Amino acid sequence: MVAMFEVTGTTRKALTTATLLGGLILAAGGCGSAPTLPRVSAPPRPPAEPVISPEALASPAPRAPMRPGKWVASPPPLPNRSREELTKTLRANPRGPQVDSVLYGLGLHYFAEGRYDATIRHLQTLQSRFPLSPLYEESEYLLGLALQARGRYKEAFLPLRGSLSREKNPLRRGLLHAALGEVYEAQKDPLAALNSYVEALSVHPALPNTILLRERILSLAKTALATHQVQAAARRFRSGPAGPILRLEFAHRAAAENRPEAALAAARLFLKDYPGHPRREEIENFEKRLREKLNINQGRVGVLLPLSGPAAAAGERVYQGIQLALRHALEKNPGLRLQLAVRDTRSTAQSAGNAAAGAAELVGQEKVIALVGPFFSLAAEAAAAVAHREETPLLTPFAIRMDMSASSPMVFRNSLTNRLQSKGISAFAVQNLGIRRFAVLFPEDRDGRELAERFSEDVRRLGGRVSKMVSFAPEANDFGSQMRALGGLSDAQVASRKRARGLKKTDPYKIKLPFEALFVPVYHDKAVLIAPQIPFYNMQGIHLLGGRGWNNSDLIRYGEKYVEKSLFVDGFFPDSEEPRVVRFVNEFSRLFGRKPDIFSALGYDAAMIVFSSLAKGVNSRSSMRSYLSRLSGFEGVMGLTDMGPNGDTKRQLFVLTVRKRRIEHLQMITPHRAIASGGVVPTEPGPEAAPAGPDVNQ
């Protein structure tokens, strides 16, 4: 009679170590015959796993589907007997000698064929029917792998862990570790899974499917683990085959988290520990970029301005604004380490001077985190090429001729452009004054043509239209023909029309014009010549509109009553009652003995934008670039400032008018937000006076 026991693992161990009367003779291939045993009181029996019938065991089972990317262990060596022969033996004598070896052999065959359900049934039957079989531990090893391969992770855990605790063979230990890694992943324990996969590669580097294991390790490190866990794993498995994967992932993680020191240390360890790694050249370049990043002086800002030569006066005004910004930034943040490194570009509107060389010195030798300047467009373009090459952010406070759409993503501009002036005056005229019909009188030069075209486009987008566009030569001083082209009439022509209509000389007569407002994009010297000719040619009730070129005290002196109620925009108004402007003007005047102009304000705001980023923790050139590109709602002395998608600032403008021979401030307008939202964003109105503004034509 064959001894049949159904016991737990603990009972089985006790029985194998106890002395049974007569002993239990075990054959090499299975359970042999045993003498009749005395009656022994059995321990309480645990719930038995279902035992599969011999007929069911001998029947083929369908192949289990495999999910993509699943790791499956290679099967142990197959037995000498084929699956068909073993099946025939089991069917012929399901309770004969050596059935345990037959069941185990069939389990091996089904595992190799990927029929894991059949493998599991045969091995569980072996363990249930033959708990004392010498193949029990082998069956537990194979059962754990089969359960894991089938995706029955909860059941697979105990046999895999039990087998791993006994296993000495490196290859089999590696297979068990890999299988446990997938079990841990299924149990949402990524750190344990990573450790198991790494152990699998460590105990046997030639493990089957190592590429998949490496992919699993990298995937866990990238998506499932915290950075400190990746760092700890990289240290723990530094000398193993997974070390380079973990070290490199930590380096990239640290760099992405703006921790360049930690990333550099990891990259250097990688190069030291893995000298022959195939990605060495890539890591060397990565380490070089990190080194350069850390070599910058995080509190040093480069300044590029014309401080000598013909444009020195303009450059000095900008630099004074930057100096005051430095003072205010340090007052607000006493612990902030700020320095200015300055280079004289000696540039003009027609020459870049030595802007490129100065930029290269500031970036390479001074290690600045960002550049403020240059002032003129040619100089800014020369410095921008250096900024692009060296990946250093540059913010110019003027450079209105530079094409930002074709510029580098490292280059930004804080200026008052023709585009911005056009948007400002058109938005105010249409949305605040309710004007819908316009005419444009413009000089045939670059600025005149650009402002006329942009104004016409902006008016159309706002729902208005430009009915007449008339030009004149830039050097013109007489505008009679232009007035007539606009629809104006001389006194003689008006008298002739009155007679033709039977009117008396004293009867009123108003010319019907196809426009309500006339936009004249000129400087004040032309504005004072054009304004008187409008009533001279009997055009009445026309709103005069202009840009920042009108904001000059000579407009009042020479324009007299003819410029009353005219409207124009500018980027800065030093007599503003805004507290930040009052403070800026008072301190600037006290320090430098004169009122600031728009160039001083542009320099101040550009510098304060950069300084504010440093106060908020920006500590690298790349993070500085990110800060500038996302700038929104910055409150400067020129009002609210946003950064546009092409690196050009979008800002508020001062809407100005003339009342009783004084230039006064009506309100602030935010053109880009006004046009986008269909409304304007005014501040508190208040009369303000403005001094003459400088004219720089570039």
Please work out, in degrees rounded to the nearest 5, the angle formed at the alpha carbon of residue 105 by the alpha carbons of 104 and 108.
Answer: 90
pLDDT surpasses 90 at 123: yes
**Average pLDDT in the 306-322 region?**
96
CB atoms within 10 A of CB 556: 20
CB atoms within 10 A of CB 545: 24
Tell me the domains of the chain and their CATH numbers: 300-415+577-651 (3.40.50.2300), 418-570+654-677 (3.40.50.2300)
What pLDDT digit, counting tens, does each position of 221-266 carry? 888 989 999 999 989 888 888 889 999 999 988 888 878 888 888 8
**Average pLDDT in the 535-560 region?**
95
CB atoms within 10 A of CB 249: 22
Contacts of 312 (CB under 8 A, 6+ apart): 306
Q: 88: part of which helix (H) or strand (E)?
A: helix 83-92
The pTM assigned to this predicted structure is 0.60
Predicted pLDDT at 681: 39
Predicted pLDDT at 209: 82
What pLDDT digit, counting tens, does each position of 625-664 carry? 999 999 999 999 999 999 999 999 998 999 999 999 999 9
613 or 210: which leads in pLDDT? 613
Whether the upstream peptide bond of residue 374 has omega within 30° of 0, thus cis, is yes
Residue 15: both structure tokens together: 């029985």
Which residues partner with 518 through β-bridges? 439, 544
**Single-letter code of the amino acid located at 209:** N
CA–chain centroid gap for 427, Å, is 32
Predicted pLDDT at 21: 23
The secondary structure of residue 648, as a DSSP letter, is: B
Contacts of 673 (CB under 8 A, 6+ apart): 681
**Average pLDDT in the 28-33 region?**
33
Could you report how far apart the first and last alpha carbons of the chain are, in Å?
111
* Strand-strand pairing, 639-643 and 567-570: unpaired
CB-neighbour burial class of residue 254 (10 A; exposed 0-12, middle 13-18, buried 19+): buried
Coil vs helix vs strand at 26: strand
DSSP 290-314: HHHHHTS-TTEEEEEE--SSTTHHH
pLDDT band for position 675 (cuts 50, 70, 90): low
Predicted pLDDT at 261: 82
What pLDDT digit, counting tens, does each position of 353-367 carry? 999 999 999 999 999
What pLDDT digit, counting tens, does each position of 39-48 carry? 333 333 333 3
Q: Phi and psi of 245, rounded to 5°? A: -60, -50
Reference 612, options 634, 595, 642, 583; nearest CA is 634
**Single-letter code of the amino acid located at 523:** Y
Predicted pLDDT at 506: 86
What pLDDT digit, counting tens, does each position of 442-484 carry? 999 999 999 999 999 999 999 999 999 999 999 999 999 999 9
The runs of H, that is alpha helices, within 463-509 are 480-486, 491-500
Predicted pLDDT at 296: 76
CB atoms within 10 A of CB 592: 16
**Single-letter code of the amino acid located at 251:** A
* Rounded distance between C-alpha atoms, residue 684 and residue 643, angstroms: 24
DSSP 198-217: HHHHHH-TT-TTHHHHHHHH
Q: Are 359 and 383 in contact (CB under 8 A)?
A: yes
* Rounded distance between C-alpha atoms, residue 130 and residue 26, angstroms: 11
* Rounded distance between C-alpha atoms, residue 547 and residue 693, angstroms: 12
CB-neighbour burial class of residue 510 (10 A; exposed 0-12, middle 13-18, buried 19+): exposed
Q: Are 175 and 212 in contact (CB under 8 A)?
A: no
Rg of the chain over CA atoms, in angstroms? 43
Coil vs helix vs strand at 486: helix
**Average pLDDT in the 487-511 region?**
91
What pLDDT digit, counting tens, does each position of 676-698 carry? 544 443 433 333 333 333 333 33
pLDDT surpasses 50 at 32: no
CB-neighbour burial class of residue 327 (10 A; exposed 0-12, middle 13-18, buried 19+): exposed
The upper half-sphere exposure of residue 180, i.e. CA atoms within 13 Å in the direction of its Cβ, equals 26
Q: Are 518 and 429 in contact (CB under 8 A)?
A: no
